[in-house]
A and B are shown apart, each in its own frame.
Chain A
Amino acid sequence: MKTKTLIILIIAMFCFTAIQAQDVEKDVQRIRIYYNILKAEIESETNELICFYVEDNKFERQKEGEAYTNTKIYFYYTDTPDGVDLKMIIFESKRGIFSTYAEYMFDEGSLSFGFKQHNEDASKAERLYQQNGRVVRYSVGNVDKDIEESEYKIAMFNKTASQMLTVFNSYMLRD
């Protein structure tokens, strides 16, 4: 009897894990489809997406002994009678020989995908997938990481996205 229960339990756990993995794949797939559509729209510029552009250190000022810095941020959003809806942020930054490229994709005001890469090093590129604020997948260099163990890095991702959202919202208060 005990062996039977144990077998059933193992099978149930196996099924549950498999279903969960399938759900994760489905969520990731959904996010990727949405991402591809959005990126194609941004690149083609033939859509309704409006770009709010920010460039820091436009005149390339550089003090003695300090590294050259330049940051460009592109906020893509739609403007409807119901209000503005932020879809994607593209962040490019240079500080001396270091560079950062990041993307933050939003779905109804919540971060659904984040990508961050330093010095064009794909082996350390971070990817965060979220569905309705719930973490679906977090990977570094295309290798999936344990979500609980990566709690701090995920929190930082969300914190930056939230700060960017604050910047965007402050500009959208029309004068």
Chain B
Amino acid sequence: MLRKVGMICVMLTVASFVIVAGCKKKPVVEDAGETKPKYASKGDEGTITGKVAFDGTPPVAKKIDMSQDANCAAAAAGEKTTEEVVVTDGKLANVYVYLKGGGLEKFSYSVPSDPVVLDQQGCRYHPHVLGIQTQQTLKIVNSDPTTHNIHPSPKVNQEFNQSQAQGAPPIEKKFNRKELLIPVKCNQHPWMKANIGVLDHPYFAVSAKDGSYTIKNVPPGNYTVVFWHETLGEQTASVTVGAKESKTQDITYKAGAAAAPASLEIAPTLILP
């Protein structure tokens, strides 16, 4: 009888590996393989600017309990609340804006030598949403009097989980594949969250506190401007940029469009291999 129970346990262990392995498979992203020609500026690039507005009463920011780390409670200034929906005078911050189409995918683009900085300060990530190019350096800094652990969870890029003590040197990482958007968390302080958008071109921006964004040096063409917000969802708009033209594309998120807190998956998503 013991042997039977033991066999059942072994079979269940193997089965659980197999079932779970089939459930959440990372998509296989094939690298392009061919070398794309480098984009060469013709001097006729334009600009897309705009403002992201919020119509209605924004959801109330939830309070964060930082008591489990006294260093955080001391370092965090002011009200400790969530920052998913940040609305100031009717303008929405932290909207990731990027361009699609217009022939952008035909070219490769120079990678900026300046790193993009992600700072951990007051036990929060600054900025909350950031954009970076593939192969561009992400410089992670810890300005807090406590240890953080930076843990992005990409779907097509390499995941990493690294501890960074107070005063430790910056951590530098790169993402090789475009991915929209990579959630980042700190496993030591579960309220710390950020989002990183990775693109293989430089035509992206993140809306500021006043809702404004600017995408510079846009080659002439017809584009889809995509506006992404972590809880309010995605909106798109079509823009045609002429030679040396500056176009304005505003967008408005409505209060009613605010997504309900993520609901639990009721139906199984079991995918047997």
Tell whether A pairs with B: no
Where the two chains meet, the residues of B that have a C-beta atom closer than 8 Å to any C-beta of A are none
